[in-house]
Amino acid sequence: MTSKRSSLVVPVPSEGDFTSRLRSPAVAARVGLWLGISFGICFLTGLISHYAQNGNQPIPFPATPFWGYRVTQGLHVISGTAAIPLLLVKLWAVYPKLFQSMPWGDVRAMAVTGLERISIAVLVAGGVFMLLTGLLNTAQWYPWSFSFRPTHYAVAWVTIGALVVHIAVKLPIIRDALTGDVEDTTHDRPSAVETGALSRRGLLRTTWAATGIAVLATAGSTVPFLRNISVLAVRTGDGPQGVPINRSARAAQVTMEEGGAGWTLDVVNGEGVATSWSRGDLEQLTQRTETLPIACVEGWSASAEWTGVRLRDLLDAAGVPTGTDLRMVSLQKRYAFGVTELQGNFADADKTLIALKLNGEDLSLDHGYPARLIAPNRPGVLQTKWLTSVEVI
């Protein structure tokens, strides 16, 4: 470090104080490439998840393949987790730029630099925010007062916008860096000459290793064969009747009595006429068994065997025509998603069940006793538990 600054009370460094030749465009571009890919995957899968949860779907979300949402949402959380080591190394590699001096005096250059720095500030704030809020959400930790879903969604657009601007600004350097040798110094800062403990290749390999370990340590929440090595996964994948739960009956304030003798499932058709079935009645109808995943928006998923009545069979008995959108109403008294919409294509899908059993046993209360919806390719929050009525919209 040049010593003239060490006597200042607040020693703000300058770009020139950073001497490691690892902090270079060659490293930033290579780590940035994978960071960009992971943010891209997060954005696309995030848009899919957002759309799947939208009440209003001009183009209906498809009910096939039944494992689709499990894969896209699993990918979303996996690539977001992978981006954490990538972002940390990336920001380390470009940290000196934080102390870049302004081209004072030249108004035009100041405007250009100022604008670029604003876009970079937005990118870094957004990038850190996305990964931080996403990570905390998987662990169901919400130490803030904004609403997670709209904020994570809006900031995603902001961040991707800033990322595209960033790529536009840096494109010539990115091109040179990615086509050139990793040891190339053409675009390096003049002070970035010192070799240190790690070579550039060494740092890159270490970064890929850290990224791989981050994925292996967490992905078991959704990838079954990683369960035993994902020591940091938010779920083991186990739970009552072999399946984890997200919201307990206690949290939703639903009791066993409510699903007891007096309970019926009412299907209200277009004319407002209700057909009701007790649990005993439902058990008398043709029972079907489907293997379908619960795929939570928070990224974990688990496959299970569900047994119950095909929803379409009930709709036929109640005189509801095919292609009708439905409202699924739960007994739950607390939290969102007590009422969800089920698009006609899901209501008509063969695999869509009013489930009474899970893995061969009567549903436990936490899994939605006396009856719950289980449909293919559908976010877990919309797999309504403790059903009380199904209404034509």
Partner 1 sequence: MAGVSLTRSALGVLGFLVGVYGAYLLLSRQDFDQLLSAAIWLAGGVVVHDGLIALAALGLAAIGARLLPSVARTPAAAGFVVLGSITILAIPMLGRFGAKDDNATLLDRNYGLGWLGIVVLVVAAVLVASLLRARTSGETGAPDTRTDLEGDPS
Where in 144-173 is the site for partner 1 (CB under 8 A)? 144-147, 150-151, 153-169, 171
Stretch that binds partner 1, among 193-201, 285-293, 303-311, 329-337 (CB under 8 A): 193-201
Q: How far apart are CA 194 and CA 177, in angstroms?
A: 19
Q: How far apart are CA 330 and CA 310, in angstroms?
A: 18
Positions of E strands within the chain = 265-268, 274-277, 288-295, 301-310, 326-330, 339-342, 353-358, 361-362, 372-374, 387-392
> According to CB under 8 A, which one of 28, 233, 326, 374 is a site residue for partner 1?
233
Q: How far is the CB of 92 from ligand HEM (least distance, A)?
A: 10
- Taking CA atoms, 308 is separated from 13, 281, 311, 355, in Å, by 67, 12, 9, 4
Residues numbered 240-259 forming contacts with partner 1, rule: CB under 8 A = 240, 244-248, 250-251
Q: How far is the CB of 305 from partner 1 (least distance, A)?
A: 18
> According to CB under 8 A, which one of 37, 217, 226, 285 is a site residue for partner 1?
217
Residue of 359, 360, 386 lying closest to 250 (CA atoms): 386
Number of residues that bind partner 1 (CB under 8 A): 88
> According to CB under 6 A, which one of 18, 20, 22, 36 is a site residue for ligand HEM?
36
Residue of 114, 74, 132, 100 lying closest to 17 (CA atoms): 100
Answer with the entry of partner 1, ligand HEM, none that 120 interacts with (C-beta below 5 to 8 A by kind): ligand HEM
> According to CB under 8 A, which one of 75, 203, 282, 356 is a site residue for partner 1?
203
Q: How far apart are CA 52 and CA 49, in angstroms?
A: 5
Residues 6+ apart with CB under 8 A from 135: 80, 81, 84
3-state SS, 177-238, equals HHHCCCCCCCCCCCCCCECCCCCHHHHHHHHHHHHHHHHHHHHHHCCHHHCCCCCCCCCCCC
Q: How far apart are CA 31 and CA 46, in angstroms?
A: 22
Q: How far is the CB of 57 from ligand HEM (least distance, A)?
A: 29
According to the binding rule CB under 8 A, does residue 235 interact with partner 1? yes
116 conformational bin, left if phi > 0, alpha if psi -120 to 50, beta if neither = alpha
Stretch that binds ligand HEM, among 9-17, 21-29, 215-223, 338-346 (CB under 6 A): 21-29
> According to CB under 8 A, which one of 135, 182, 274, 285 is a site residue for partner 1?
135
Torsion sign, CA atoms 160, 164, 166, 171 = positive
According to the binding rule CB under 8 A, does residue 295 interact with partner 1? no
Residues numbered 242-261 forming contacts with ligand HEM, rule: CB under 6 A = none
Quick one: DSSP state of residue 379? B
Beta strands 387-392 and 274-277 are: unpaired
Residues numbered 331-370 forming contacts with partner 1, rule: CB under 8 A = none
SS3 291: strand
> According to CB under 6 A, which one of 18, 20, 22, 39 is a site residue for ligand HEM?
39
Q: How far is the CB of 33 from ligand HEM (least distance, A)?
A: 4
Residues numbered 2-61 forming contacts with partner 1, rule: CB under 8 A = 13, 17-20
Beta carbons of 229 and 220 less than 8 angstroms apart: yes
Q: How far is the CB of 298 from ligand HEM (least distance, A)?
A: 22
Q: How far is the CB of 24 from ligand HEM (least distance, A)?
A: 6
Number of residues that bind ligand HEM (CB under 6 A): 24
Q: How far is the CB of 86 from partner 1 (least distance, A)?
A: 9
According to the binding rule CB under 6 A, does residue 182 interact with ligand HEM? no
Residues 6+ apart with CB under 8 A from 209: none
Residues numbered 96-125 forming contacts with ligand HEM, rule: CB under 6 A = 97, 100, 120, 123-124
Q: Which residues bind ligand HEM (CB under 6 A)?
A: 24-25, 28-29, 32-33, 35-36, 39, 90, 94, 97, 100, 120, 123-124, 127, 163, 166-167, 170, 173-174, 177
